[in-house]
Structure 1
């Protein structure tokens, strides 16, 4: 069959449409009413919501699970169910989201940090979310909250959205979703799972359709792009999905993603030596302009390139120090967020071991603990530790603590991230509480730290350093700056321009961390490797 990839009529009549990938039929299909389908029979036209959205309209029922309720909180799971005015489901979208921070109330949404290891960041699915919302009337239970949290994420991804006039089933029922479903005979399975809540809200919408009288205005989101999609459901299933079938109707307003293969090919050649010179960056910018790539598409190409490096590194189940260093240096050169890298490779570099909880050991808590489904506040957690002679500290620094106790061992809280950077042991609160009760050791994980990636602001080379320093300069550039000609006021000083001695006759040293030149105080022993400011910061970090 010599036709391009796309949605076509299902040749087996098991659904309305089936995805043809250009070579063969796939398992991706829309819900159909033919043999083998499980979709419920659509209600009659007079039982629909055509009076709200029009006969040709559609609704996007949304639900999110989040790390909290404030604007600073992040989405950890999103689901969107797209229906027509008669209640036929045309598309379902769900994925877990890596928030790059603590997951929040696991006791409420049931999402643990370990479940997010393979999950995409919101920016990776932002355009797929926007494409499903654009042109649809938005529906939700407490929809203002869902729109606010999704809107914050879309804005961070560079997408503007006008929400139109949404439908809120909470205003129609006046009670929580589980109670509203119970009162209207709607089945709610797995409450506080985004896809389950979205499906239930969709059914609740049609059960309460007589309570909505005003014609609704659909949402508008821009820009829109269709790109390959990586999602991660709670079951841990990760796959690449084709674009949803209704996106074909949006072709007129859609900007198709350009082919970035030539850009990535040049990028691979330029970064092979883990250095990007000004000339190489200029060549990449010129090619990106020629291909019509904007900043978002360039950033996506960079993320995909680094993800490819990670895929190759983790294939054997081990990430060595050399592999870790190369990946981190590549990410630093390309401006890829280091947290997005570490969340994928840390599980392959962690060392598990038992740690005895002896009196005098220092511990630091992060996140809200939970025992038997009951939330344990920070004061109670600290009291448990102090009762057994442990010393509670409030922050994670180079000098300690001996153990960080997190709500979940895979927590991405700032304290947990810092502990991994410093190679400090981490355990979950449940493991900690069990060890205290049993008197035995606690099972902990210690990340193998290999430092931070640095990029020279002068020549574009990269290297690994003990800690991150802004505006860093490599050793070669520091030496060249030191030995090069210096502007002087008198001709007599011209002979000293190439000298490595300062005006007082002392050696001028170059800080190995920040590249600053300074004259050290004369003293016996080894020469310092860092300037006084960097040395002080290193000791207090």
Structure 2
């Protein structure tokens, strides 16, 4: 492959299935050695309303004379052909890219185009960072100038990817994604009907207050499951104004389906999300009326009740932070198979005995394994790599301890 093509899209909403479109494209190339070069961007006329201008800063007037996606598609396909595509929360951008290409007559196929996700890999390189691009960049010492413009976000993502490559010493950890990119065949671009004229946005950035909920999102812990992180990234975008419209709720259903999350898993995620919000609200030891009101409103948006807020506040008051999200959507029942890998803080034999005592079955990794407990969830061990290929969730020792506590409490 010739190198990486980093892409970022600003969109009218969260879901191409529900008619949302791309309104801006940012493209930046990165060499295998981490050199960032050859950037371009353009606004795109979505041929519908532009959506959340308060977030992306693009108005209907801005895109009135911009090229359509059909106009831009040949240049975009030239930019990704023979290269590895990368993005931050790549599943979001790749769903939009595939849908837009199909909409204008290109055959992409049933499989989402492969890509490297800098959000997914942030845990391996940036311990402690949240999933948001701005927080990952801050952790890596990268400044974003003009956040929420496609080119600025693509350039920041390219720099983040370059920092990962540097830390890998030229040996990328995402071998599976590279192999998938080599095997994937992008559709050949059709001859352009006319010369493409890029249109860049005016020299202004979206002005959005960094409100209470937005600050909470910045503190949200990451999940050990990349599917969960992808869903939560979409949820956080939808929750920026503290309100989920019916349209946004439909979009979240589509995001959950794309991430292969069941309804119980989604509800568990929402409950853990509310718990994380409550923990941040209580950090200063005071719950203001405004904070309680925001929590009540968020709970209603998430399909939860006021008593769930009470439970979240009670739980948050009794723990040391909002770290439960790492086990969101995962539950263990008697008979489940669990596997251990790596050097644990507690002897593996002790963990296995404790697991057997509540009816779990410690055994080697198989497709039927419910959970892999790893000393390091970002491990590149054979077990961890195989677990990812099987879709088996990977959690660390602390997260497994919490699951065990719950299981033991229910058995009493």
TM range (shorter): 0.3 to 0.5
TM-score by length of 1: 0.33
Larger radius of gyration: 1
Larger helix proportion of the pair: 2
Larger strand proportion of the pair: 1
TM-score by length of 2: 0.42
Higher relative contact order (CA 8 A, sep 6+): 2
